[in-house]
């Protein structure tokens, strides 16, 4: 019975493939954030470490959301191979700049998938993606706010620890 239902997959192959590619991107983002969390922890930047650890969990949740969606539509989700995770980072600010680049890349990808769904007239997946687009706005916003702390406080002297202290308000507000 199950196999018979699978034959009735309502996902186009093209859409299934790009969703699986996104599963991999989210898994990669989760692993990179975990590495960032460990690096910050090693530097004694506890709040930044917690922030990236939370981000890592969120990315895994995003991955699962897409993974389960593919399955629910009768497609075949692929558990991704995740490689090339950087373990070292040049600077505290650099970690957040890289985080912002990563988020901007994800936004671009989700936009692209939404565009492909619209062209393929897959409005069910298009609708599913709206949550991710809204989430990206929020994620980019928070990292940009944190980067502003670097501009305002500066990293000299005890600046790094001050930034880490103030980061709580920006990153965990509403938690």
What residues make contact with ligand FEO under the rule CB under 6 A?
Answer: 26, 29, 59, 62, 103, 106, 139
State the Cα angle at 102 between 30 and 45, rounded to 5°: 65
Dist. CA 69–CA 17, nearest whole Å:
13
To ligand FEO, the closest distance from the beta carbon of 62 in angstroms equals 4
To ligand FEO, the closest distance from the beta carbon of 133 in angstroms equals 11
Nearest to 16 by CA among 60, 56, 76: 76
To ligand FEO, the closest distance from the beta carbon of 121 in angstroms equals 25
To ligand FEO, the closest distance from the beta carbon of 53 in angstroms equals 14
Dist. CA 175–CA 162, nearest whole Å:
21
CB 52 within 8 A of CB 37: yes
Q: Between residues 27 and 45, which has the closer beta carbon with respect to ligand FEO?
A: 27
Q: Between residues 6 and 144, which has the closer beta carbon with respect to ligand FEO?
A: 144
Dist. CA 145–CA 47, nearest whole Å:
15
Q: Between residues 123 and 131, which has the closer beta carbon with respect to ligand FEO?
A: 131
Q: Between residues 42 and 108, which has the closer beta carbon with respect to ligand FEO?
A: 108
Q: Between residues 13 and 175, which has the closer beta carbon with respect to ligand FEO?
A: 175
To ligand FEO, the closest distance from the beta carbon of 139 in angstroms equals 5
Dist. CA 148–CA 154, nearest whole Å:
10
CB 56 within 8 A of CB 48: no
Dist. CA 169–CA 142, nearest whole Å:
10
Please identify the residue of the shown chain whose CB is closest to the bound ligand FEO: 62
CB 103 within 8 A of CB 143: yes
């Amino acid at each position: 019975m199950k196999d018979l239902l699978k034959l009735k997959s309502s996902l186009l192959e093209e859409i299934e493939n790009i969703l699986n590619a996104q599963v991999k991107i989210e898994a990669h983002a989760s692993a990179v954030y975990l590495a960032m969390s460990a690096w910050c922890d090693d530097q004694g930047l506890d709040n930044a470490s917690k922030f990236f650890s939370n981000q890592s969990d969120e990315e895994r949740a995003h991955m699962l959301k897409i993974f389960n969606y593919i399955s629910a539509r009768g497609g075949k989700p692929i558990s991704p191979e995740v490689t090339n995770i950087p373990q070292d980072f040049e600077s505290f600010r650099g970690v957040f700049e890289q985080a912002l680049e990563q988020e901007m890349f994800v936004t671009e990808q989700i936009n692209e998938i939404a565009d492909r769904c619209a062209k393929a007239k897959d409005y069910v997946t298009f609708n599913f993606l709206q949550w991710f687009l809204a989430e990206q706005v929020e994620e980019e916003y928070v990292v940009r706010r944190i980067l502003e702390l670097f501009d305002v406080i500066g990293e000299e002297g005890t600046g790094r620890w001050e930034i880490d202290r103030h980061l709580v308000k920006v990153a965990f507000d509403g938690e």
